[in-house]
Structure 1
Amino acid sequence: MLPDRPASADQLSAALLAWYDRHRRDLPWRAPAGTKPDPYKVWLSEIMLQQTTVAAVRDYFRKFLLRWPTVTDLAAAPLEDVLKAWAGLGYYARARNLHKCAGIVARHHGGRFPDEFAVLKSLPGIGEYTAGAIAAIAFDQPHVAVDGNVERVMARLFAIETPLPDAKPALKGLASGLVPARRPGDFAQALMDLGATICAPRKANCLICPWSAPCKARALGIAETLPRKREKLSRPVRHGTAFLVTRADGAVLLRRRAERGLLGGMLEVPSTPWAAKPSAVPTQHAPMNGPWRPVAGRVEHTFTHFHLIMEVWHGEAKETQPPPDESYRWVASSALAGEALPSIMRKIIAHGLG
């Protein structure tokens, strides 16, 4: 523990690394102490962890690694299989970029991840944060990886009361100033662990924090009020009608969405466009002629930028009725669990068949 007085960057990093050596989390993608990290595992975990919790990612990571042990294995996989394996993790553009990035690394980098920050950042799906995390953790380079956890730690350590996102550049600068020349990869992971386990959003466990003494927010009694955030605007609401079509054998009619845009390349229950107001004549967007039976209740789902309210109408197709076009296909009810269906579509199917 540091003395209760201003501490230098070297003292702060040394105290955090000492704490990390005793309390580091055991994560399936984290290399054992003293061993060299696998850049493929670091990259895969960082992409999965974007906007997703560690608890949710653990099993997905293990399954991906068993199925595609190397980046060249992943690059050779059909995109459809990758999307199916990703289903449930959300933010599906990450899965498409994951597959695209694997292809570039396999074809243009000999199956080895580049160790230059700028080159990493140029790869699909890798932004400032992810490039910094890979450069630091996989290649032990003095880069900083600043996510929400690290922003919170910095805001509290230095008592930065400027609201987010305005404070982001300052918080990144403060974190960069603490990166040690020795063990920058461990330092990056230590910061992540500190924010995830000690300097938590709703409860700052200051008594067991290695930076408790020099923490300015603790001294001021404002730790749990930081970081400040701008008042959130309410999410807009969109409406739609989903058309759940089944056959006598239990198969469900699904449609593949366009590759670009929200839920790109995923399968969906065909529906009206999602708009600010419900469609006056929803059946004009139906995949077949009726009759249609409205299902009681509705399905709701919140995306990052809007809240969706869906009515569900059920229709039964003739046994021999073909799909309307090549974007549609019949999927047996027993095969639905293995399809690349986003959460909202699973909700709609469960509601419509329930």
Structure 2
Amino acid sequence: MAGRPLKERHRGARRPGVDAAHCRKYPVRMGRNVEKEIPRLLFDWYRTNRRDLPWRGTKDPYRTWVAEIMLQQTRVDTVIPYYERFLKRFPDVRALARAREDDVLKAWENLGYYSRARHLSEAARIVVERFGGSIPSTMEGLRALPGVGAYTAGAILSIAFGRPIAAVDGNVIRVIARLFGIEDSIARPGTRKKIGEIVRRLVPTEEPGHFNEALMDLGSGICTPRRPACPACPLSAACLALARGIQASLPARDKAAALPRREASVAVIRDGGGRVLLVKRPRRGLLGGLWRFPGAEGKEARALRSALKKQQGLDVVVGKEIFTVEHAYSHFSVTVHVFDCRLRAGTPQARPVPARWVATGGTARLALSKLERMILQRLKNPRDRARTLPRG
């Protein structure tokens, strides 16, 4: 239920929890379409409240692209050091296109959602080969790049190229749902389409990039998921959700299902020099391209032994379970059972799954997930018997 259009709302009402001084600072001019006032109010607020971020203030589409990919489902504070290190190592799209995918994944290590790094690497080569090293400046060209969706393309086009195109991320969805009192679930395609249409109407032809950044900043710093700071919001005088007292319950979502739980097992196999065996994950799929301990689904020793035979042609004796690790990904949680194993026969093969022997202290150059890093650390400190990792 979208409620009345902004332009039809009654005039001059002060919203609950918003003092008169704030209303004077961010006034909604009467007698005009309020939708036209939103960019002005946002820009007034943004001039003094914009965040000083390393990717702000540049029109370089490569830097904007890298930043927007890193920011997908990742906190700004987490991204900043990764962004700075990444650009130091890969300062332009040609440098990224020349780099080995393993090096890109290593630079991405622990940032999570590794398909983003693989897509960046692949897209950089496409930009060099098909576009002469210039980031495409059209929606069609950008959407043809791996990992670039409607939001990322809109952000690049508005910020780097000055195109009046909407960039609708989770922060923007939350702001618009509250501002326009949209009570339908944002999980529904129709609701997201409605929000996208609203933002497209709002984006000004002048400084569209700053407008999109201002909406993102408002959503991340003021119009937060929990306990929105309505008294500090420049749009509070026009906010339908605040007027109805339902701002904390919007945007509406369908009830989330509990994370499914899985069991997995991994093998710690050592050679005569004490090195452990690691294998490389397939490029596609969970944590694609990263190195891991060989393993199997389930916690049974028999399944682990069979998987090692099938994957690597190794005949192993599965010994005792030395510890377990609990880990939560975005869409499931897993208990990993770590077994001490002995190689009875066979030699690790490079194909179909690349494998190598690695000293437990010599993995600095390999791209590993948090889970693998934890297992390696635990092998050095066996007294620590259990650990739960954050999602990633």
Say if 2:228 and 2:248, in contact at 8 Å, map to a contact too: yes
One-letter amino acid of the structure 1 residue matched with residue 50 of structure 2: R
Say if 1:312 and 1:352, in contact at 8 Å, map to a contact too: no
Q: Structure 1 residues 329 and 192 mapped into 2: Cα distance closer, same or farther (>3 Å)?
A: same
Q: CA offset at residue 4 of structure 1?
A: 8.7
Equivalent positions of 1:171-210 (< 5 A) are: 171-210=195-234
Say if 2:178 and 2:240, in contact at 8 Å, map to a contact too: yes
1:215 partnered with 2:242: no
1:155 partnered with 2:180: no
Partner of residue 343 from structure 1, selected from 356, 370, 374:
370
Equivalent positions of 1:153-302 (< 5 A) are: 153-166=175-188, 167-272=191-296, 274=297, 281-286=303-308, 288-302=314-328
Give the equivalent residue in structure 1 for 2:99.
77
| TM-score for both structures, normalised by structure 2 | 0.83
Q: CA offset at residue 242 of structure 1?
A: 0.4
SS at match of 2:266: strand
The aligned length equals: 347
1:315 partnered with 2:337: no
SS at match of 1:44: helix
Matched residues, percent identical?
A: 40
Partner of residue 2 from structure 1, selected from 16, 27, 40:
27
1:120 partnered with 2:142: yes
Partner of residue 74 from structure 2, selected from 52, 59, 77:
52
Distance 1:144 1:279 in 2: 53
One-letter amino acid of the structure 2 residue matched with residue 264 of structure 1: G
Distance 1:279 1:168 in 2: 47
1:17 partnered with 2:39: no
Give the equivalent residue in structure 1 for 2:14.
none
Distance 2:69 2:283 in 1: 19
Say if 1:16 and 1:211, in contact at 8 Å, map to a contact too: yes
One-letter amino acid of the structure 1 residue matched with residue 166 of structure 2: V
Q: CA offset at residue 39 of structure 1?
A: 0.5
Distance 1:250 1:37 in 2: 51
Distance 1:27 1:338 in 2: 29
One-letter amino acid of the structure 1 residue matched with residue 137 of structure 2: D
Q: CA offset at residue 7 of structure 1?
A: 5.2
Distance 1:2 1:294 in 2: 70
Say if 1:244 and 1:352, in contact at 8 Å, map to a contact too: no
One-letter amino acid of the structure 2 residue matched with residue 43 of structure 1: W
Q: Structure 1 residues 328 and 208 mapped into 2: Cα distance closer, same or farther (>3 Å)?
A: same
Structure having the higher Rg: 2
Give the equivalent residue in structure 2 for 1:98.
120
Give the equivalent residue in structure 1 for 2:54.
28
Q: Any unmatched runs of 5+ in structure 1?
A: none
SS at match of 2:295: coil
Give the equivalent residue in structure 2 for 1:328.
355
Q: CA offset at residue 189 of structure 1?
A: 0.5
CA RMSD of aligned residues (A): 2.2
Give the equivalent residue in structure 1 for 2:20.
none
Q: Structure 1 residues 279 and 177 mapped into 2: Cα distance closer, same or farther (>3 Å)?
A: farther
Q: CA offset at residue 155 of structure 1?
A: 0.7
1:131 partnered with 2:153: yes
Distance 1:172 1:281 in 2: 48
Q: CA offset at residue 279 of structure 1?
A: 6.8
Q: Any unmatched runs of 5+ in structure 2?
A: 1-25, 383-392
Say if 2:266 and 2:304, in contact at 8 Å, map to a contact too: no
| TM-score for both structures, normalised by structure 1 | 0.92
Say if 1:239 and 1:278, in contact at 8 Å, map to a contact too: no
Say if 1:129 and 1:147, in contact at 8 Å, map to a contact too: yes
SS at match of 2:265: strand
Say if 2:315 and 2:343, in contact at 8 Å, map to a contact too: no
259-268 or 320-329, which moves further after superposition? Answer: 320-329
Q: Structure 1 residues 3 and 14 mapped into 2: Cα distance closer, same or farther (>3 Å)?
A: closer
- CA displacement 1:290-317 (0-9 Å, x = unmatched): 4433334421222222222211002355
Give the equivalent residue in structure 1 for 2:5.
none
Q: CA offset at residue 12 of structure 1?
A: 0.7
Say if 1:242 and 1:348, in contact at 8 Å, map to a contact too: no
Q: CA offset at residue 50 of structure 1?
A: 1.1
Distance 1:294 1:280 in 2: 13
